[in-house]
């Protein structure tokens, strides 16, 4: 309700868009952050936002639209105050994500990518959000809510709609989707120090190692002259090796069947 009127892109926003452009060797690299900022200001990627980005970057509106429509985080409809994402990728779905989504959908009376009548919550199925050890996982404005149940999820959205403060499991106090978009665009909100270092699952191995006295081997003392010699020898041979092995090794690397995506898995 509070976002019925779309604020215009004013001079202050234009100045921030230019600031983002200035952070990169080539201004167009700022387009994704700029679209995040447009969403933070206007609640979606508006036609005005597309025109402004195009004008600032010397692109056509078609080029900017082509980018904006490619990425799922950019929304063409005005969003609710909060974006509630339910992971329904395989592992979370099996662990209960499907049941959670179904319950929330019933409770809020909205389907996927729809917003409640009071404008408070947009519900979305999301893909794997890299928190599988906390499955089933929800996100609110891209903050983690770990190990949820249908009951906890209903309670969560009720508190969000009532305007009660909600603390992320591994993150800050929930703000709003627009505030989150501003951080993603590149402007800090002073909340980095909120929340824990890690959740219990992140610490599972470390805790066991501490209990059992396990650790990586001790680091050798620096004054190991052999190591220094070794480095010197490597230095002499490094360039020659690189030259002769470059072509064939790179071919092998790029053709590797394991050169899959995601998780940085193109780290060939």
Binders in 227-266 for another protein, by CB under 8 A: 227, 230-231, 234-235, 237-239, 241-242, 245-246, 249-250, 253-254, 256-266
Q: How far is the CB of 124 from another protein (least distance, A)?
A: 11
| Contact pattern for another protein over residues 195 through 234, marking x by CB under 8 A | x-xxxxxxxxxxxxxx-x-xxxx-xx---x--x--xx--x
Q: Is 114 or 133 the residue whose CB approaches another protein more closely?
A: 133
CA distance 214 to 208: 8
Question: Which residues in 55-84 contact another protein (CB under 8 A)?
Answer: 57, 66-67, 70-74
1 binds another protein (CB under 8 A): no
139 binds another protein (CB under 8 A): yes
Cβ-based nearer residue to another protein, 66 or 111: 66
Which 79-118 residues touch another protein, going by CB under 8 A?
85, 88-91, 93-96, 98-99
Pairing of strands 82-87, 114-115: unpaired
Could you say which of 131, 145, 153, 166 contacts another protein (CB under 8 A)?
A: 131
Per CB under 8 A, the segment of 8-16, 115-123, 124-132, 156-164 that binds another protein is: 124-132
C-alpha 246/C-alpha 184 separation (Å) is: 38
Q: Is 165 in the site for another protein (CB under 8 A)?
A: no
Contact set for another protein, span 6-45 (CB under 8 A): 23-26, 28-33, 35-36
Per residue in 183-192, is it b (16+ CB within 10 Å) or e — as a string?
bbbbbeeeee
Structure tokens at 237: 């041979």
Number of residues that bind another protein (CB under 8 A): 116
**Closer by beta carbon to another protein, 81 or else 144:** 144
Tokens of 122: 């947009």
Query: What backbone phi and psi angles, to 5 degrees, belong to 184?
Result: -60, -35
Which helix (H) or strand (E) segment is 68 a member of? helix 61-68
- What is the distance of C-alpha 242 from the center of its chain? 36
**Beta carbon nearer to another protein, 155 or 250:** 250
Distances (CA, A) of 68 to 10, 36, 77, 107, 215: 21, 10, 13, 31, 47
Q: Give the sign of the dihedral formed by CA 67, CA 73, CA 79, CA 81.
A: negative
């Amino acid at each position: 309700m509070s976002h019925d009127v779309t604020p215009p892109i004013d001079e202050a926003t234009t100045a921030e868009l230019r600031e983002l452009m200035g952070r990169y060797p080539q201004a167009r690299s700022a387009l994704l952050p700029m679209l995040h900022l447009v969403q933070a200001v206007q609640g979606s990627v508006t036609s005005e936002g597309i025109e402004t980005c195009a004008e600032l970057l010397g692109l056509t509106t078609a080029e900017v639209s082509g980018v904006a429509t490619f990425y799922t985080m950019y929304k063409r409809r005005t969003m609710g105050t909060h974006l509630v994402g339910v992971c329904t990728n395989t592992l979370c779905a099996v662990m209960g994500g499907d049941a959670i989504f179904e319950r929330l959908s019933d409770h809020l009376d909205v389907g996927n990518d729809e917003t409640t009548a009071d404008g408070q919550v947009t519900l979305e199925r999301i893909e794997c959000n890299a928190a599988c050890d906390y499955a089933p996982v929800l996100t609110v404005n891209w903050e983690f809510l770990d190990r949820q149940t249908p009951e906890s999820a209903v309670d969560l959205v009720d508190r969000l709609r009532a305007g009660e403060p909600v603390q992320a499991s591994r993150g800050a106090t929930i703000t709003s989707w627009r505030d989150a978009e501003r951080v993603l665009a590149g402007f800090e909100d002073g909340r980095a120090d909120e929340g824990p270092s890690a959740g219990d699952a992140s610490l599972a191995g470390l805790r066991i190692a501490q209990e059992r006295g396990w650790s990586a081997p001790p680091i050798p003392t620096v004054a190991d002259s052999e190591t220094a010699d070794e480095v010197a020898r490597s230095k002499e041979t490094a360039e020659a090796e690189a030259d002769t092995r470059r072509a064939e090794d790179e071919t092998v690397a790029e053709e590797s069947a394991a050169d899959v995506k995601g998780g940085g898995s193109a780290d060939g």
